[in-house]
Amino acid sequence: MTCGGYAERVTVEPVMPDHVAPMLAAAGAIPAGAGWAFEFKFDGVRAVAYVDGDRLRLLSRNHNDVTSTYPELRELTARLRGRRAILDGEIVACEPGDRPSFARLAARMHVSSPPPALLGSVPVVYYVFDLLWLDGRSLLDEPYQVRRAELAGLALDGRAVRTPPEFTGVDGRSVLHAAELGGLEGVVAKRLSAPYRAGRRSADWTKVPLIRTQEVLIIGWRPGAGRRAGLIGSLLLAVEDGGRLRFAGHVGTGFTDVMLRQLGERLAPLRRTTAPVPDVPREHARHAQWVEPGLVGEVAFRNWTAEGRLRHPSWRGLRPDRAAGSARRRPDPVAPAGGQVRGALETPDGRWRVEAVARGKDQFYRLIHGDNVVDGLVIATLHRLLAEAGVDLADLVEVHEPGPTAGRRGVA
């Protein structure tokens, strides 16, 4: 069998492997040129599914068995009609309108046997984007486009299982823009000729996020006041940076009451009397309740301060699918060079920025949201993109000195 000019290389493994470590994507800019497919990046938790007849086993990225947490995904066994397969994908909970919501998924992630009411109020969908093993054949060494073609042939789409779209022969920037308009997390570019590199992070899969996130370790918390009296007011955070654990600031937004109660229960047995990292500023250490740094969470944030603190972080949820070692400070994105910024406007919260740019004889507008940069815009297109995002250009305020985005061009 061939697909796209590649001869299928069959590796026979009659016994299904017990474990295949998921391949990981490297952060980068949208690749240019031919030879790439683009998929939407969904805001959920990674899971590898092992289907053997009527038996299903779901393993998280850090090898925890989460089968009982998501019982609706047993639909996979019916969809495969007795076949045996190993699948890779993302478990997602959606808001009305099919927009993925990590906050909604957080209500399911820690419940090993969810009651019917929770299954009904927070249903999940498994987006299957890769096929690793099928009926005794390993597909790990096959090119991505061969694996994707075989996956499509399984016709898995149902109520709780979907095969997400892939886009080939297109400009990846248009897919990224579509992801932004749809409220998705970003895009993953996958090299058509690449094998599945189990357990490795590779630029053959390049992730281009629309929001900047960071895994963090919880090292303590401060009590709440007012409406949060008796609950956690804010979490104190740390990341591994330069080979040691360092204080990374605090986060006090993005929580639901359910999250706060769950965090209180999870942190209570981890209490300790001293800070687990040095040099916590006095204003954060005052009234702090310290804990062993064992729980990994995720925050969205704007950038890092010069002191190594997270600027404007917002809590996204605990990450039971991540090990403590994943809480390493991620490198700052590399800003492409070129173009002179003649002026800039920002929303009062700093989330959206518009720059007037001159490059040679060209003059245009640049729209910046997090790490996403859309270049070469005329004023009409700029108005439309902002309007679609619910931002009124008239609400932006002038920035008198160019920020760190000055000189960037292209779409990151």
List active site positions.
Answer: 41
Contact indicator for 210, 179 with CB cutoff of 8 Å = yes
**Which residue's structure tokens are 């600031």?**
249
Round to whole Å and give the CA distance between 231 and 254.
14
Q: Are 370 and 346 in contact (CB under 8 A)?
A: no
Of 192, 194, 175, 196, the residue nearest 40 (C-alpha): 175
Tokens linked to 407: 């000189």
Q: For residue 233, give the nearest of 245, 220, 246 by alpha carbon.
A: 220
**What is the bridge-based pairing of β-strands 124-134 and 161-162?**
parallel
The C-alpha atoms of residue 246 and residue 239 are separated, in whole angstroms, by: 6
Residue 226, phi-psi category: left (phi > 0), alpha (psi -120 to 50), beta (remainder) = left
Q: Is 208 helix (H, G, I), strand (E, B) or coil?
A: strand
Q: In the beta sheet, which residues pair with residue 198?
A: none
- What residues contact residue 201 under an 8 Å CB cut-off, 6+ apart? 23, 24, 25, 26
Residue 263: which region, alpha, beta or left (left: phi > 0; alpha: psi -120 to 50)?
alpha
